[in-house]
Amino acid sequence: MEIIMRTGISKTTSLTLVAATGWFAWGMTARADAASGPWYRNPVTNAAYRQEIVISGGLTGSALTNFPVLVVITNQNNPIFGKAQSDGDDIMFTSADGRTQLSHEIEAYTDSGVKRLVAWVKLPLLPGGRDTAVQMLYGNEALASQQNPAGVWGSDFLGVWHLNESVIAGETNYDSSASAAHATRYGSGAGGTAGRIAGGNAYNGADDHSQAGGGVFVNTNGFTVSAWLYMADTNNPFHAIEVGTDLGSYLGVYPERVPLFSVRNAAGEQVGTYGQPISLASWHHVVGVARPTYSQLFVDGVDVGATWGTPGGLSLLTHCRYIGGAVGSRLNGALDELRLCGVARSADWIKACYRNQGDPDAYIAFGPETGNGQWEFRQKIVIGASMAPNTDQTNFPVLVAITNQDSRVFAMAQADGDDILFTAADGTTRLAHETETYTNAGARNLLAWVKVPALSHTADTTVWMYYGNDTVSKQDASAGVWENAFLGVWHLGEAVSAGGINYDSSASAAHATRCGSGAGGAEGRIGGGNAFNGSDDFAQTHGITVPATGFTISAWVCRDPSATGANFHAIEGSYGPAFYLTITGSPYYPLFCIEDSIHAQQGCYGNGGVIATGNWHHYVATATPGRLDIYVDGVKQTHADWGADPNGISAQVRCKFIGCSSLALSDCWLGKLDELRLCGVPRSADWIAACYRNQSNPGWLTYGPDESRLPRGTCVLVR
């Protein structure tokens, strides 16, 4: 009897018995819902494996930007060996989120014999005194090389010679920087030797040297030259590295092992810095820093220089012409990791280089290997064409709201929803999204804002929601949702009391500090909202300046049933009052007021709709030079103006106060607010109507059944 089992990922089993000639088959009644179309495969997170790398906060005492950190693996049991491609092409590095790829260059990779990985990874920010986590991903046989040396070394680096080539005369030491100032080897020596980091280059003290090409000039505002230096003897002074011709500037050693950094100033004079004797037969990190008014010499991370002369400005020098010495000043020893930077590096930068390169294991730790996983499920979401009236909309943030307690997203996504992501209709093009709320226990719900590049008013728009990947980190990209015209987006979902923060999801980061005696948190129109007590509650931001060409302010507002009177300011700009959105009169019409460019108050109130107490209303106002408009629940109001048409728009700070007037912090709002936004453009009536429809009625979106990447269930075949 032969038994064949095929297992999917369904958690339930329903068996049927089917009879046929000569065999029996038991199969579960699994849905045939394996996906048939293209499936999202992020090229970064598609690697099979990952390891977290933690860089110690002790590497630097101050923040460094665009720092190339050295990652070295010599542990013969590290699981990367044998799982990455044999040439390491699929190895890549990301930030802690597991998907923001970092530029890297692999200097050496060997996965057999004596195994080793030596890689340089550019960190956009290396904070001082705080650990930094990055991810190393590998295990994707389909990938071409992921290296980007030019991205690692950037514009500040004018030359980076790893010197790991075993070269003889006529061969090349390659420059990894964008200068491509590759150096040709001269002399009778063999060249290749063990280096300080990976391979190095040996020099015989007689005729060995290399000469770099290229015509890049050193910046006269300052430059830095550095190398690892190994001296076999000190019979003669030598120039390990020479910048320019005719003794332009050089880093070398004088008799009695004294390190020297000499700079040619703007007057053509040689001025320089020297240190204390260094030991033979040992590697030393030697760095020269030139500035227009002084120079420095660092040995093994320490500033050791004494200076003679005054630079008096720096001469314009072509870079790193000679490596290993010029005639009469040749090195007997070895060099490794030679660099020329077009900026004067700080002491903390140099010390971090020495620590990282001198003992990488002391500052870098590797976490255990984990699987990188795939997304197992997806669900089609169809946005009805009639949600966008009259015209198409671009880069529209669509609210995806799932409250169906039986939706499988709540069972199959991560507990915090970090693995949820969205794509376009093709199933592969990633869409930026922000998750406002995700709860998979109790009253389950998902509220997410998804930026849809093109929202049609004539045909339904389809997007895909993916979930079911236990190994990925948070997939949100809030800044990508609220790009361009959005100057402030406060969801107001934080249940905050005085001193707490209502966060701004836009790039402005104009987070609002809560003030007053009220509790703050309340049920909102979309997710959570904020309640204001009408006496001392408000929130204050650092303010945002909008363009004089126009802007839009919008919010969901709910006046408390006990509210009486008028002029309760829901949202206000800077002191003046320069601008505010409020309720006035009886039966409480919406009012929008600004200060124009000649500091006159201009305003309008809508008399086509009433803001009823106890109900949520979508309240929007737009300002353009010469016109103000108010919308309530997606409908433009017939409005009345006072004063002349606005004489332009004043350059005032908008959205500084939420829930009160800036005048003695009075006219405090009694009620609730939700989803407050400030845009740097006057939105169209169709955009505003689409927002109202989407946010007020989740029925504009329909959800298909979830699909699985593989067929579900278990089938047992007995022959």
Evaluate whether 603 touches 594 at the Cβ level (below 8 Å). yes
Q: What is the pLDDT of residue 208?
A: 92
- How many Å apart are CA 299 and CA 125, to the nearest integer? 25
Q: What is the pLDDT of residue 519?
A: 84
Question: What is the length of the chain?
Answer: 719
- How many Å apart are CA 409 and CA 402, to the nearest integer? 9
Reported as a pLDDT band with limits 50, 70 and 90, residue 5 is very low
* pLDDT tens, position by position, 388-419: 999 999 999 999 999 999 999 999 999 999 99
Instruction: Give the amino acid at 198.
Output: A
- How many Å apart are CA 594 and CA 268, to the nearest integer? 63
Specify burial of residue 618 (Cβ count, 10 A radius: 0-12, 13-18, 19+). buried
Reported as a pLDDT band with limits 50, 70 and 90, residue 472 is confident
Mean pLDDT of 147-166: 94
CA distances in angstroms from 568 to 43, 135, 580, 605, 711, listed in the order given: 52, 51, 10, 14, 58
Query: β-strands 445-455, 393-402: how paired?
Result: antiparallel
CB atoms within 10 A of CB 114: 7
Mean pLDDT of 55-62: 95
Rounded to the nearest angstrom, the gap between the alpha carbon of residue 657 and the centroid of all alpha carbons in its chain is 30
Query: β-strands 322-323, 238-243: how paired?
Result: antiparallel
* pLDDT tens, position by position, 528-586: 999 998 888 889 988 888 888 888 999 999 988 887 655 556 676 654 434 566 666 55
Cβ contacts of residue 275 below 8 Å, gap of 6+?
Answer: 258, 259, 260, 297, 299, 304, 305, 306
CB atoms within 10 A of CB 606: 23
Mean pLDDT of 481-494: 92
Evaluate whether 681 touches 544 at the Cβ level (below 8 Å). no
Evaluate whether 238 touches 219 at the Cβ level (below 8 Å). no
Reported as a pLDDT band with limits 50, 70 and 90, residue 719 is very low
Mean pLDDT of 19-44: 48
Does residue 588 come out as left (phi exceeding 0), alpha (psi in the -120 to 50 range) or beta?
left
More confident residue, 307 or 211: 211
More confident residue, 586 or 297: 297
Structure-derived torsion over alpha carbons of residues 653, 657, 660, 661, reported in degrees to the nearest 10: -30
CA distances in angstroms from 465 to 44, 381, 541, 709, listed in the order given: 19, 7, 34, 13
Q: What is the pLDDT of residue 710?
A: 64
Reported as a pLDDT band with limits 50, 70 and 90, residue 325 is confident
Both tokens of 507, joined, read: 């790039």
- CA torsion sign, 456 to 395 to 400 to 45? positive
More confident residue, 605 or 467: 467
Does residue 205 come out as left (phi exceeding 0), alpha (psi in the -120 to 50 range) or beta?
left
Q: What is the pLDDT of residue 32?
A: 35
User: Which residues in 451-483 are b (16+ Cβ under 10 Å) and which e?
Assistant: bbeebebeeebbbbbbbbbeebbbbbbbeebbe
- CA torsion sign, 393 to 399 to 400 to 405? negative
Reported as a pLDDT band with limits 50, 70 and 90, residue 474 is confident
The DSSP secondary structure of 448-468, one letter per residue, reads EEEEEEEE-SSS-EEEEEEE-
Instruction: Give the amino acid at 3.
Output: I
Evaluate whether 138 touches 49 at the Cβ level (below 8 Å). yes
640 has pLDDT over 50: yes
- How many Å apart are CA 196 and CA 332, to the nearest integer? 16
- How many Å apart are CA 677 and CA 502, to the nearest integer? 13
The DSSP secondary structure of 350-379, one letter per residue, reads HHHHHHHHH-HHHHEEEEEEEE-----EEE
**Residue of 691, 537, 695, 700 whose CA lies nearest to 622:** 691
- How many Å apart are CA 236 and CA 221, to the nearest integer? 32
476 has pLDDT over 50: yes
- How many Å apart are CA 622 and CA 624, to the nearest integer? 7
* 275-289, 386-400, 465-479, 511-525, range with the lowest pLDDT: 465-479
Both tokens of 434, joined, read: 């922000």
- How many Å apart are CA 175 and CA 162, to the nearest integer? 8
Both tokens of 719, joined, read: 């022959």
Does residue 508 come out as left (phi exceeding 0), alpha (psi in the -120 to 50 range) or beta?
alpha
CA distances in angstroms from 402 to 43, 405, 407, 427, 464, listed in the order given: 29, 8, 8, 20, 14
Helix, strand, or coil (residue 318): strand
Q: What is the pLDDT of residue 126?
A: 96
Tokens 């720096």 -> residue: 314
Mean pLDDT, the chain, integer:
84
59 has pLDDT over 60: yes
428 has pLDDT over 70: yes
Q: What is the pLDDT of residue 245?
A: 63
Q: What is the pLDDT of residue 548?
A: 81
**Residue of 618, 526, 704, 623 whose CA lies nearest to 36:** 704
Q: What is the pLDDT of residue 4?
A: 35
Both tokens of 279, joined, read: 């030991």
Q: Give me the residues paired with residue 67 across strands.
A: 123
Q: What does pTM read for this prediction?
A: 0.64
Mean pLDDT of 480-488: 90
Q: What is the pLDDT of residue 190?
A: 82
Cβ contacts of residue 125 below 8 Å, gap of 6+?
Answer: 63, 64, 65, 132
Highest average pLDDT, of 245-249, 426-430, 641-645, comes from 426-430
Evaluate whether 641 touches 540 at the Cβ level (below 8 Å). no
Q: What is the pLDDT of residue 180?
A: 92
Q: What is the pLDDT of residue 570?
A: 65
- How many Å apart are CA 560 and CA 49, to the nearest integer? 54
Highest average pLDDT, of 206-215, 342-351, 654-663, comes from 342-351
Q: What is the pLDDT of residue 593?
A: 74
The domains located in the chain, with CATH, are 49-148+366-371 (2.60.40), 157-342 (2.60.120.200), 377-475+700-708 (2.60.40), 486-680 (2.60.120.200)
Evaluate whether 319 touches 243 at the Cβ level (below 8 Å). yes
